[in-house]
Amino acid sequence: MLMFDLHCHSIFSDGELIPSELVRRLEVMGYGAVAVTDHADESNFDFVIERISRAAVEINRFSDTMLLPGIELTHVHPERILPLVRRCREAGAVIVVCHGETVVEPVIPGTNRAAIEAGVDILAHPGLIAFEEARLAAEREVRLELSGRKGHGLTNGHVLKMARQAGASLVIDSDGHAPGDFMSPERGREVGIGAGMEPEEVESLYQANWNWLKGLF
């Protein structure tokens, strides 16, 4: 199973690693790609995207693991999400993630819907997402995340259930902040199976998302 991660953090927010070390560690683990999606709002999105994009130009010349510039809009008021998503894409973000309504943080109600309506690529750890929101995600082709991170992963089973009922796409990510957070293929399978997927479903999910991801390179 070819591994990739579309939601992780570097020293440009609350992660522990500079981009070069982050990519190198995942290269050793056999990853095909990684999106560094540091936390951002209007105060720092341009700084973060510019720094990761600059790193990607050089890293991707030599690494077998492709670095994709990304961003995670975090605790941004729902009314501000759409214009900020547009600004992030204009600034060069290849992957736009929004910090969803996880049950372990005080995310503003309405964030899930606003992020989906704004057309983010991934709604991270969307907590107790409603069926109507999952259906909208299916219509807008927004991927709902099954999270490998402690706390955020508490509602993975619910997210899977809503996604199945609504026909929404899923993605498994680490939300990695430190070297030990990044998942082996075995760990990725465990996250999917723990949410309620069959092993072959996990394999198919990774393959489907890899096929989508290759179109972004």
Over the stretch 4-30, which tens digit does the pLDDT of each residue have? 999 999 999 999 999 999 999 999 999
- CA dist., res. 185 & res. 51, Å (int): 29
- CA dist., res. 1 & res. 100, Å (int): 27
- Inter-CA distances, 71 with 35, 93, 96, 199, Å: 8, 7, 5, 30
Residue range 24-59, pLDDT digits in tens: 999 999 999 999 999 999 999 999 999 999 999 999
Delimit the domains of the chain by residue range.
Answer: 3-214
pLDDT of residue 216: 85
In CATH, what number does 3-214 get? 3.20.20.140
- CA dist., res. 35 & res. 8, Å (int): 7
> What is the overall mean pLDDT for the chain?
98
